[in-house]
Amino acid sequence: MLEHAITGLLLVVAVIHLVPVSGFLGSRQLSALYGIDVGNPDLEILMRHRAVLFGIVGAFFVYSAFVPALQPIAFAGATLSLLSFFYLAFAVGRYGPAIRKIVIGDVVAAACLIAAIALYLMKDET
């Protein structure tokens, strides 16, 4: 029972991390995701590569959802990913509506992550 809940929660975290993958397809998708003009080729390359990296991270979270031995690594990776984004969003501030949506999505991911970690720790105590 706890294992299924952990799997489901990690899958939510994974899906939220997989959303940016569509940005790999081009500047139009990046603009839709982030509400920014990606007219500069250097920025487009960096942002499209970022989309691939999120795909790799998200795919690992999906895989770890079904492999309990990998879940602590996924918990650590997701925690670092979310905390670094929250830090940047609040340290820089003045972000627009598109980034606000990402912040909200990451709050959902963080809540799911905290719940998954708590359940994982409870599972080990039984």
pLDDT 10s digits, 27-65: 999 999 999 999 899 999 999 999 999 999 999 999 999
pLDDT 10s digits, 81-116: 999 999 999 999 999 999 999 999 999 999 999 999
Longest dimension (CA), the chain: 55
Q: Please give the DSSP secondary-structure letter assigned to residue 68.
A: G
* Domain span holding position 14: 2-125
Work out how many domains the chain is built from and give that number.
1
- Average pLDDT of 15-32? 97
125 falls in which pLDDT band (50, 70, 90)? confident
Quote the CA–CA distance of 119 and 113 in Å, as a whole number: 10
